Amino acid sequence: MRSLPIIDISNLVSASRDDRIAVAHALDRACAESGFLYISGKQLDWALFRRLHSRAIAYFALEQTAKMESYIGRSQNHSGYVPVGEEQFGEGVVDLKEAYDVNYDYLHAEGRRPLLGPNLWPEMAGFRDDVMAYYAHIMDIGRQLFGAFALALGLDEDHFDAHRLNPPSQLRLIHYPRDDSAQDRPGIGAHTDYECFTLLFATVPGLQIVSRQGGWIDVPLVEGAMIMNIGDMMEILSNGRYLATRHRVKKVREERYSFPMFHTCDYDYVVAPLTNDEAPRYAPLKGGEHLFNQTAQTFAYLKRRIAAGDLALTDVMPLHSFGRRDV
């Protein structure tokens, strides 16, 4: 894992099925060997990345009172500003980060769910347009990758299309302030991602993953490539062929911006092993319910609602239920 694989996904937009199958086989090998990898490809639009970065710099430079006008606790679909200390993956030191979370902007009155509704947006000219342009672009990259995963798992290439009509896939704009203190304060604590897979680009290093030997190793940035990792739901769908990998952001010595996009299926999609030639190793779970339950265990405003009796969770799995058990 000290040298993560790099997969060129350019041929996922090829008209040749053989070209697409070749990418799917390479993706399958990389995901089976490591929960983390890099993807590159001609379809990645770095101009959109730069615009998103510029919007994040401008937004997080606002006064705290202005940012709190879009506090995530005021939203209908878990979107908006996440102040330092709002999200915590464990006991002890609070993560040093702030974020702006953007979900699928579901505007219909019918069919809303805890993570599916209209986004909360700041009063900042151009912010929504540039963020949603990037969101749409990375959603399309995700669509291509879902097709590759379907091929890798022996399914029809369009298998996931019917299950991704209104997915609660989330984009996070995360700001890690420079930390010159003597305190060993992480940017974000150790966790696995809850969804199927994550696509990430960041401005400076800081990401670490658990190696197969159990220690933490750095994930360097690779020019022209995004970082990709497997989440809880793809671990289930692959029946454990691909494993979610615990990761964290270590204490940063320079200001860092990170933009993970978490790709998932529709809220009501039942996540279960898709391999027919072996016994299921995982019980089915409701995708959106799992995603919300995990989120509710880490966000302060949701914990307050649970404590007040305004919110009740069912079939909750503990955090860190997925990934390697022997490290």
What tens digit of pLDDT does each residue of 222-281 get? Answer: 999 999 999 999 999 999 999 998 888 887 778 999 999 999 999 999 999 998 888 999
Assign residue 108 the CATH number of its domain.
2.60.120.330
User: What's this model's pTM, rounded to 2 decimal places?
Assistant: 0.94
Residues paired with 37 in a beta bridge: 228
Residue 321 lies in a domain: no
Does the pLDDT of residue 1 top 50, yes or no?
Answer: no
Output the pLDDT for position 183.
Answer: 61
Instruction: State the pLDDT at residue 327.
Output: 47
Give the pLDDT confidence of 176-232 residue by residue, as tens digits.
988 776 466 666 778 889 999 999 999 999 899 987 777 888 999 999 999 999 999
Residue 128 placed within a domain: yes
> Which residue pairs from 49-52 have beta carbons closer than 8 angstroms and sit at least 24 positions apart in sequence?
49/134, 49/201, 49/259, 51/130, 51/133, 51/134, 52/130, 52/131, 52/134, 52/173, 52/259
Does residue 327 fall inside a structural domain? Answer: no
Domain count, the chain: 1
Which range of residues forms the domain containing residue 154? 6-307
Asked whether residue 322 is assigned to any structural domain, the reply reads: no
